[in-house]
Structure 1
Amino acid sequence: MPTDCINYQNSGYFTALIRDYLDQKQNIQSLYHRFPTLENFKGQMEEKQANFDNAHREVLVSVLQKQYEKISTSDLTKKNIESLARPNTFTITTGHQLNLFTGPLYFLYKIISTINLSKELKAKYPTCDFVPIYWMATEDHDFEEINYFIFKGKKFRWNTSSSGPVGRLSTKGLEDVFEVFAKEIGSSNAANEIKTLFEESYLHHDTLAGATRFLANSLFKEYGLIILDADTPKLKQEFIPYIKEELLFQNANQLVLETTKQLHEYSIQVNPREINLFYIEDDLRERIILENGFYKVNNTKIQFSETEILSELENHPEKFSPNVILRPLYQEVILPNLCYIGGGGEIAYWLELKSLFEASKITFPILLLRNSALLITEKQAKKTDKLMLEWKDLFSKQNDLLNERTRTLSEFPIDLSIQKEQLKNQFSYLYSVAHQTDKSFSGAVKAQEAKQIKGLENLEKRLLKAQKRKLHDELERIAELQNELFPNQSLQERQSNFSEFYLENGTKLIPILIHKLKPLETNFDIIGVS
């Protein structure tokens, strides 16, 4: 297996903002609090401990114990829930949508990053406890993003509709998905385990939130993972002062807009609204907008005066849902959290929020880019070696990879750069002659130079094309290998479902990932699997 390593910055799959964050570029240092190093967590713990209201701990523990009442979980998870009542216990949090059957592979990588970072922190700071949290995005409504998963290139879609928070959505109709999927994966022992997991998760639970909790608990309970559904009145009660502030003063909008001005050279991930709240019921999730002194629920006839909406907030806080701008604040208010672990897009929008946290007097968490990995079988590793490829080659765009390999494998140079340089030297003499005689002659010289350079470039392209035909078989093997590892010319972790690899590795899969993924390293992990 190739031994070279590729870091996130050189992988070609991260934005300029994330690359600059990882490189700790000076121009964005004001947008985050502390960079993720083991040493920096000491200051983060001290600050969070001083600023966090321990009354939130009692509420959090009671909510979690209620949510776990009907779930069989590990002693470690139970112990972790109880430990949250103590002031020396902190959380490490990741969040994710309720993708059907976990969706793409990086669902696993996010959670494993939180588990492994919690372990590393415990080893570094043994007098404290660190609890991995998976925050379920139960209040989201982007159902089209989560209603499918991909197994070996085939999409399995849940054909239903959703108009409210997805966590409250009925699992009715997933019997059809199960039936089709069960036929696809065969009847090996691992396949039967996968089918049982799907069936017990989705066919034995009434809501998508319940199904997702069962699924994540089944996969990660032995590692002490706590799964939190924050769509609950008791936790929303803790957030009332911040919801009230948003309704009355709309400060988040201006604060975030000011921050985005500092990000003008990058693509902005999210833009704030005037009011960054939704009004939700089981089948409703719509923005709250302020018009002519009334708070209106968009696309409905529901509206409130200021007095009425504040009364509604006090009596039914569960009907107020923070959007992408306020959700991170909600998380940090109710959790004794030190670090948020997310993908590149998530880290990008968190970088817009520090001024909002400062105005709210809530400690801004350390931001850590989740682990990324490429799972490769022994057969694929041998192919990679045989084709004399390095990992950086496989991460290249396919056309660039094939062109480069053609040049490398060709028995003569295809690059005509030397000839182009010689031609330019010849024309430099003609330019000097033109300047000494008739300056109007320079235009003719320039046109002739461009024509001949263009001719060499066309010859170079034709030569490359001819060599690609000659090397067709080897180039085809390279393309096939890359297509296996990068489905649809995208990262494997953004396409493939874990079940594809569980089918071959069974219960060994997650322990392999737990062992290999190192959350504080910024290398793209290449992990050998069966």
Structure 2
Amino acid sequence: MKIESIVIPATSDFASLYIEQKEPVKGFFHYDITENTVFEQRYHDVMGRDFDRAGIANCIEEYMEKFPQTEHTKKSIEKLRNEGSTVVIGGQQAGLLTGPLYTIHKIVSIIKLAQQQEKLLEKPVVPVFWIAGEDHDFLEINHIYAEAGQTMKKISFAGNLDEKRMTSDISYDKAEMRKWVERVFMHFGERKHTKEILSTLHKSILKYETITDLFSDIIMSLFKEYGLLIIDSAHPSLRQLEQPYFAKLIDNCSEITDAVLNQQESIMGYGFNKVIEMDKNAANLFYYLDNERILLDYHADGNYFEAKKANFQIKKEDIHNLLRAYPERFSNNVVTRPIMQEWLFPSLAFIAGPGEIAYWGELKLAFDTLKFKMPPIIPRMNMTFIDAAIERDIVELELSLRDILTQGIDSNKTNFLETAADKDLDNMLDQTKDFLEGQYGSIINRLEENDRGLVPLARKNLSFHMNQIDFLIRKANMSLETKHKTILDKYNRIEQHLRPLSSPQERIWNVFYYLNEMGEEFIHQLMMENYEFDGAHKIIKL
């Protein structure tokens, strides 16, 4: 592997300005991530707060018991118990086969930043990956993409489409999951490592029952050597730890909502769109009722909580009683999840994707309301993997990698075809169409004067001739593409691997394509590299 860095804009203006630490965006966060002392400042701030490190370490240890681990895992759990420890944390939904590549990029970012800061601070820093098992949008995680000819095909697992259930409660049919995985690998193709990978996946499918557990198993299989800790946000023991913090969220829900709305108003005043949708009655909490996750509103005038769609209403004092009896029924939304994480974990930094940067920017005043700071928000590393064949094609076609990643390749392909086309033939065909339109125009005018009944026939004749010429043009273009198929295939391959479906590679491709090609060595090589958290895009040459 070889790493190069190029500067390309983030997928949103807000994230780009944050990465560059420019105003007004910089002012929506508590820490300047470009300051050399930012992690020392944060460490000092974290050490001034109290955390139940033993409680969260025990909870993680219990959750991880059934997943692959090594001595590095156990060492990280012991480090977390240390009163001087901090964590680098980030999270994602539990995608099938880990989902898009950005999940892998985020985990690599979490581990590498934790390693770097542990050396610099000379204090224990633990990498923690938070699995959003409480989320309930199954359609977001039930598929991956794989190559199918000259396009990327969405391969969906039918599974349980009950979208209101938490992911951690969604079980899968083991036979159907095995078939789905085999269908995915059919698109990847038979390689040296295919049988071994499929054998491992089949065993994991049989071992577990839920989407989240299968995800956790795969993640730990890949990263067990690097001290990564994982926790499912829906784990019952975690809910017990969260119970007193849910009580705080219930008591402060109106103040939190007002703070977010005020922050959004400030952000929109600078021309940005808000990313968190909420109204003035939002409680920013979910309640699990009859296997359905319902979003609560709070009405201060009547001092009660409500979920209109579920016909659910409860007084504030009664919801506290429910919380004490059934903490596992409560879960966070996009506003309260970051707050909950900051109560649970002594976080040195949060690793965020571009969309997460935008919603964290709307939370500063909410944190101020609760009298503590949000952590330094560190943009996760953006990566693009390029194999040797694709790199050769880029060089041969004299393309700009930066342009490919930001704009795609359509304009280059169009320019090539225009250059290769028979311009004399194109001109002849265009002139023929112009001539026929002119002649038939004169014929139709004459018929309008002398024999109007023949006008429809004349128009039909013109349409027939024009269609025939258009047919000839299409055939000429097809012949041109056939003649230059080798070159056009190179353009298509480059686009499919680096800018598939007009999206970044990390949003479409899946890590198992690369594992199928290179085996687990792919992850080990990725983890051996040194990375800078400088906001630059990492080009990983395989």
Q: TM-score range by the shorter chain?
A: 0.7 to 0.9
TM-score (norm: length of structure 2): 0.80
C-alpha distance in structure 2 between counterparts of 1:73 and 1:477, whole Å:
42
Aligned in 2, Cα 1:361/1:202: closer, same or farther, shift over 3 Å? Answer: farther
Residue 59 of structure 1, aligned match among 49, 55, 59: 55
Q: What amino acid is the match of 2:17?
A: D
Q: Give the number of equivalent residue pairs.
A: 470
Structure-2 residue corresponding to 1:176: 176
Structure-2 residue corresponding to 1:528: 541
Residue 393 of structure 1, aligned match among 390, 396, 403: 403
Q: Which moved more, 1:372-381 or 1:202-211?
A: 202-211
Structure-2 residue corresponding to 1:143: 138
Residue 275 of structure 1, aligned match among 279, 283, 290: 283
Q: Which moved more, 1:493-502 or 1:199-208?
A: 199-208
Give the fraction of aligned pairs with identical amino acids, expressed as a percent: 27
Q: Which moved more, 1:517-526 or 1:316-325?
A: 517-526
Residue 329 of structure 1, aligned match among 325, 332, 339: 339
Residue 93 of structure 1, aligned match among 73, 89, 94: 89
SS of equivalent residue, structure 2 residue 399: coil
Structure-2 residue corresponding to 1:509: 522
> What is the CA-CA distance between 1:389 and the residue it aligns to?
1.7
Residue 317 of structure 1, aligned match among 322, 327, 334: 327
Aligned in 2, Cα 1:139/1:298: closer, same or farther, shift over 3 Å? Answer: farther
> What is the CA-CA distance between 1:237 and the residue it aligns to?
4.2
Contact preservation (8 Å) 2:275, 2:359: yes
SS of equivalent residue, structure 1 residue 8: coil
SS of equivalent residue, structure 1 residue 206: coil
Q: What amino acid is the match of 1:86?
A: N
Aligned in 2, Cα 1:310/1:34: closer, same or farther, shift over 3 Å? Answer: same
C-alpha distance in structure 1 between counterparts of 2:418 and 2:267, whole Å:
40
Contact preservation (8 Å) 1:2, 1:381: no
Structure 1 unpaired stretches of 5+: 411-465
Residue 486 of structure 1, aligned match among 473, 476, 499: 499
Contact preservation (8 Å) 2:3, 2:539: no
> What is the CA-CA distance between 1:113 and the residue it aligns to?
0.4
**RMSD of aligned residue pairs (Cα, Å):** 3.0
SS of equivalent residue, structure 2 residue 83: coil
SS of equivalent residue, structure 2 residue 306: strand
Aligned in 2, Cα 1:137/1:519: closer, same or farther, shift over 3 Å? Answer: farther
SS of equivalent residue, structure 1 residue 521: coil
Structure-2 residue corresponding to 1:363: 373
1:134-283 pair list within 5 angstroms: 134-152=129-147, 153-154=152-153, 155-162=155-162, 163-171=164-172, 173-182=173-182, 184-185=185-186, 188-249=191-252, 250-264=254-268, 265-273=271-279, 274-280=282-288, 283=291
Aligned in 2, Cα 1:237/1:490: closer, same or farther, shift over 3 Å? Answer: same
1:71-150 pair list within 5 angstroms: 71-126=67-122, 128-150=123-145
1:14 aligns with 2:11: yes
Aligned in 2, Cα 1:202/1:269: closer, same or farther, shift over 3 Å? Answer: farther
Structure-2 residue corresponding to 1:289: 297
1:295-314 pair list within 5 angstroms: 295-314=305-324
> What is the CA-CA distance between 1:167 and the residue it aligns to?
1.0
> What is the CA-CA distance between 1:71 and the residue it aligns to?
3.2
Q: Which moved more, 1:22-31 or 1:334-343?
A: 22-31
Deviations 1:452-484 (A, max 9, x none): xxxxxxxxxxxxxx9xx7996656643442233
SS of equivalent residue, structure 1 residue 26: coil
Structure-2 residue corresponding to 1:46: 44
Q: Which moved more, 1:283-292 or 1:380-389?
A: 283-292
Q: What amino acid is the match of 2:168?
A: G
Contact preservation (8 Å) 1:91, 1:130: yes
C-alpha distance in structure 2 between counterparts of 1:72 and 1:145, whole Å:
26
SS of equivalent residue, structure 1 residue 275: strand
Aligned in 2, Cα 1:491/1:279: closer, same or farther, shift over 3 Å? Answer: same
Contact preservation (8 Å) 1:164, 1:282: no
> What is the CA-CA distance between 1:300 and the residue it aligns to?
2.5
